[in-house]
């Protein structure tokens, strides 16, 4: 098996695992982690592989549902944020110095504000809850990708083949569709994938701090926040296992982004 085949296999396995985690939560009901005080505070076992909490609820099913919630929020927020980044970055690179300077100033301003603080402020203004955290992630995660798209567009628009197209009388729409979009698409796809782990980590962080998803919903951040009250009691599984599962999801997305970049870059997949 050559390097390219190993990369494709790694991409496929990571994608399958993440799809299973995202879809699994849809089929989990409250019956799977029903309250059972006769079996509360049980450590991990064959019957409950993540143990049970102080109400006897199965932590494995709660973790799966929490991950699914975080992932779907991340998918929605990342998709919108990536599209915003592509549009804003494209206009910054194409519309001249004044537009570029204004957009660059907005990006620098947003990036100068501590990220968590900005997320919390937007969550409060947007009404907290699932809607608030989704809007907050949408409005704060586009800046880095927009910079990448802007830089790529500025290089492409000064290339010889774009200049030749202009001399031949080709329209801006033709040049955009034929030359610019195909070249920025790889950066857009990879950047979007790498935005996702940041989105779910920030969702979990804001929920953990009490500004995101309500504690009644078993999101990962809510589970970790709740488990802090019992960490000193020796019930390590309430925080460690959900936290490790979240970390695995983040690492899987980082692996997908890294391997996809190697796959797209011809110089990195030579045997």
**Percentage of the chain surpassing pLDDT 90?**
14
The model's pTM: 0.82
Is residue 2 domain-resident?
no
Q: What is the tens place of the pLDDT at every residue in 5-23?
A: 777 777 788 788 888 888 8
| pLDDT confidence band for 84 (50 / 70 / 90) | very high
Q: What is the tens place of the pLDDT at every residue in 114-168?
A: 888 899 999 988 887 888 899 999 999 899 999 999 988 888 887 887 788 778 8
Is residue 5 domain-resident?
no
Gap between the Cα atoms of 100 and 5, Å rounded: 41
DSSP tag of 180: I
Gap between the Cα atoms of 146 and 110, Å rounded: 12
Contact 150, 97 (CB under 8 A): no
Is residue 220 domain-resident?
yes
Domain enclosing residue 203, as ranges: 73-251
The burial class, CB within 10 Å (0-12 / 13-18 / 19+), for 121 is middle
Is residue 59 domain-resident?
no
Averaged pLDDT, 77-88: 92
Taking each helix axis as running N to C, give the angle between helix 237-264 and helix 59-94, from 0 to 180 degrees, rounded to the nearest 10: 40
Token output for 128: 């907290």
DSSP for 234-262 reads T-THHHHHHHHHHHHHHHHHHHHHHHHHH
Is residue 44 domain-resident?
no
Is residue 164 domain-resident?
yes
Contact 142, 84 (CB under 8 A): yes
Is residue 92 domain-resident?
yes
The burial class, CB within 10 Å (0-12 / 13-18 / 19+), for 4 is middle
Is residue 178 domain-resident?
yes
The tally of domains found in the chain comes to 1
Domain of 194, CATH number, reads 1.10.3720.10
* 178 CB-side CA count, 13 A: 12
Which of helix, strand or coil describes residue 88?
Answer: helix
């Amino acid at each position: 098996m050559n390097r390219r085949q190993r990369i494709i296999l790694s991409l496929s396995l990571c994608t399958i695992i993440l799809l299973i985690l995202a879809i699994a939560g849809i089929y989990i009901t409250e019956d799977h982690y029903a309250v059972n005080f006769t079996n509360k505070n049980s450590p991990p076992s064959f019957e409950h592989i993540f143990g049970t909490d102080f109400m006897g609820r199965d932590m494995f099913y709660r973790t799966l549902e929490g991950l699914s919630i975080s992932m779907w929020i991340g998918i929605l927020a990342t998709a919108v944020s990536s599209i915003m980044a592509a549009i804003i970055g494209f206009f910054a690179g194409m519309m001249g110095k004044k537009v570029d300077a204004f957009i660059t100033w907005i990006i620098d301003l947003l990036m100068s504000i501590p990220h968590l603080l900005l997320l919390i402020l937007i969550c409060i203004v947007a009404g907290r809850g699932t809607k608030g955290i989704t809007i907050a992630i949408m409005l704060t995660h586009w800046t880095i990708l927009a910079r990448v798209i802007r830089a790529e567009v500025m290089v492409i628009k000064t290339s010889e083949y774009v200049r030749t197209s202009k001399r031949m009388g080709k329209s801006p729409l033709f040049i955009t569709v034929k030359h610019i979009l195909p070249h920025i698409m790889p950066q857009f796809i990879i950047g979007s994938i790498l935005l996702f782990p940041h989105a779910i980590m920030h969702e979990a962080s804001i929920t953990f701090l009490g500004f995101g998803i309500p504690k009644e919903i078993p999101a990962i951040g809510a589970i970790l926040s709740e488990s802090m009250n019992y960490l000193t009691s020796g019930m390590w599984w309430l925080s460690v296992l959900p936290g490790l599962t979240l970390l695995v999801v983040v690492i899987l997305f980082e692996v997908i982004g890294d391997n996809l970049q190697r796959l797209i870059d011809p110089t990195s997949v030579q045997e």
